[in-house]
Structure 1
Amino acid sequence: IILNSPCNPTGAVMDKEDIKGIAELAEDYDFLVISDEIYEKIIYGKKHYSPGAFSDNVITLNGFSKAYAMTGIRIGYINASERFNEELLKIHQYCTACANSIGQMGALEALRGPQDSVNNMVKEFEKRRNLIVKRLKEMGYTCSKPEGAFYVYPEIENPLEFVSKAAEAGVITVPGLPFGANGEKHIRMSYANSYENIAKAMDILEEV
């Protein structure tokens, strides 16, 4: 089973009881959980829980691109029990020679340094989230308020038509279907942009 929390189509963050329940099932039925936790620090008003805290049948994936805005440096990591390491290394050695040394030092400083910038970034994302959800609802669209990450998935009757018209007007969105079958009648919009640009984009979409 693959968990990608909190970045699912609604931006919902799984509760501790659900995470623990999945981990316990992995123990009882001996299956593997791959947990992508790249958005663990970008959560609004809730707390992140990892299934790796409750089971050894978990491979945790994480990195520095989201929480520390190190997108282009491509530093990530895997955490797993020792019995998986040899097999993981077989894959790793044919995919990546090594992470660059400058990026590794930057990642180390990000972990050791003050976390104020991360907290400030999450607060800013929350402001942007509130703006984009409010404006979409005022336009009459159904849109869940994400609990994490920085995407919204408003429900759209004709997603491809919407995406095309929005692009012509200068606002880039993408259809929701590539992110899973439940995204068929949705589009994906990122609010990893300035508050001012999001407000401008909403003005444009309202006119369209």
Structure 2
Amino acid sequence: MTFKRLVLVLSDSHIRERAEWFPVEFTNIFQSRAYDIAIHAGDLVDPEVLDFVKSLSKKVYVVQGNMDYLNLPEQEVFEVLGFRVGVVHGDQVRPRGNVQALTILAKSMNVSILISGHTHTPFITAHSGILHVNPGSVTGVWGGGGGSLAPSFIELEIQSTGEISATLYELKRGRVETSTQRLILYPQP
């Protein structure tokens, strides 16, 4: 029997500091789904964002970003269907988004999936047995190192068979565009 978990991955909202709120096109999607887990990889900025993320799932993991003054952990580690998942903001490594440095961090956390933010540019990539997931900025705001400026988030569908579907949602010219990558990971012993 195959089990599945749907995971929402957000980061870098910068609400009230650089953006008023999430794009309505995204909030409509969020509220239409039944997420098993919701994750925010930091830089929420406004406490209302934490309340909103908590309204999207019964299981929520949120970490502190370099612009947050909320009382949040610097990292989270949890298990989903045999996979150890780590969440960090990503400001722990230089340069921003450096996959080799993030891989070293992931291995020190003993995780096979590492979720990070901080770059404001989305990416999904595997490196040295670690799946790296960065949803970009959910509001599309500029980051200290640039960014894509297109609002984005990621949904992960994790299956007990090891198949992971990672769908990137980007808001471009008023339309939500999606692209999906399918990967196979083997659960950790």
Confirm or deny a common fold (TM above 0.5): no
Larger radius of gyration: 1
Greater fraction helix: 1
Return the structure number with greater relative CO, CA threshold 8 A, min gap 6: 2
